[in-house]
């Protein structure tokens, strides 16, 4: 009898909480809603230490908080959410901790594919962002399955940054832009890739590309050549890992830290930073609401700054 009464009371408070949250979000929706919110989930290990828990328990608690934050975002109408799940620098941690996180990540990725998951509930398309070849094979395979399985979802987007740093993303974008531009130069000079590679190989030299073009094609317009050579800002942005989403409107980092830690450095020029003191597993609805209210208060200023670029 007591158990039934406690269960009924719990359901009542849950229903009341859901009603209050939806009412609050309806009020917030009168103002501008951020299109993209990014999270740096900092403090999982400190949470476990503070509460005398096993080290891995902090990451599990952090995942529960993540599910709540995703629900808040999508209920409010935020279309893009990005989370910093695992940095390239994190591979330097103790091997057993890295392995634990990889195993937990694989387990939770598989969970996203279940029928009752938040991904299917809200129609979320999932992208895994970063240097995915650094992941072990089981985790990499799980990320690929998740991206394929959610490819037709169109309501919202979840970007999970794993094996990611901004410096790696920028280097990748530069490399890909150079490779793509070089392909354009070859094409504009009528030299097929296979033929080009054969010629370079037969010379046995690393020849200056401009010299090779002139040698292979004779007369070439200097203006056209210079146009082909120049890499524009748009070329780099097109080859960023994060090119699939707009720049974030808000970046929330828990635990009171005010560093970006090599996360979305390129994309955060006009992003509002929010750094609540709560450790990530302690983050709740009011931390989220406060960040959105702060964004709405500064919205006009942020939009003005964007137009000045």
Segment 25-55, tens digit of pLDDT: 999 999 999 999 999 999 999 999 999 988 7
42 is catalytic: yes
Confidence of residue 11 (pLDDT cuts 50, 70, 90): low
Find out if CATH 3.40.1180.10 is the number for domain 32-164+247-307.
yes
CA distance 25 to 292: 10
In this prediction the pTM is 0.84
Question: pLDDT value at position 306?
Answer: 84
Domain edges within the chain: 32-164+247-307, 166-189+222-240
Question: pLDDT value at position 9?
Answer: 57
Indicate the average pLDDT of the chain: 85
Question: pLDDT value at position 113?
Answer: 83
End-to-end CA distance of the chain: 65
CB 104 within 8 A of CB 56: yes
Q: Which of 42, 247, 249, 282 is catalytic?
A: 42
Question: pLDDT value at position 82?
Answer: 98
């Amino acid at each position: 009898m007591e158990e039934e009464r406690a269960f009924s009371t719990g359901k009542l408070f849950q229903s009341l909480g859901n009603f209050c949250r939806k009412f609050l979000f309806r009020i917030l929706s009168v103002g501008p809603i951020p299109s993209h919110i990014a999270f740096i989930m900092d403090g999982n290990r400190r949470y476990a230490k503070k509460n005398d828990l096993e080290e891995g328990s902090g990451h599990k608690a952090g995942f529960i908080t993540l599910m709540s934050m995703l629900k808040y975002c999508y209920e409010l109408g935020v279309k893009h959410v990005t989370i910093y799940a695992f940095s390239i620098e994190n591979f330097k941690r103790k091997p057993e901790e890295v392995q634990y996180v990889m195993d937990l990540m694989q387990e939770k990725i598989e969970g996203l594919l279940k029928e009752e998951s938040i991904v299917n509930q809200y129609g979320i398309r999932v992208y895994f962002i970063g240097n995915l070849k650094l992941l072990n094979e089981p985790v990499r395979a799980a990320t690929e399955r998740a991206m394929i399985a959610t490819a037709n979802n169109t309501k919202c987007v979840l970007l999970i940054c794993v094996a990611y740093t901004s410096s790696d993303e920028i280097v990748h974008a530069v490399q890909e832009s150079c490779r793509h531009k070089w392909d354009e130069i070859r094409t504009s000079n009528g030299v097929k890739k296979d033929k080009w590679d054969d010629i370079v190989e037969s010379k046995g030299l690393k020849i200056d590309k401009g010299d090779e073009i002139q040698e292979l094609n004779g007369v070439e317009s200097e203006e056209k050549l210079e146009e082909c050579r120049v890499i524009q800002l748009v070329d780099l942005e097109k080859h960023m890992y994060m090119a699939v989403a707009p720049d974030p409107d808000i970046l929330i980092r828990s635990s009171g830290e005010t560093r970006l830690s090599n996360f979305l450095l390129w994309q955060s020029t006009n992003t509002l930073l929010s750094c609540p003191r709560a450790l990530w597993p302690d983050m709740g609805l009011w931390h989220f609401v406060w960040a959105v209210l702060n964004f709405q208060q500064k919205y006009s200023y942020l939009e003005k700054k964007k137009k000045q670029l």
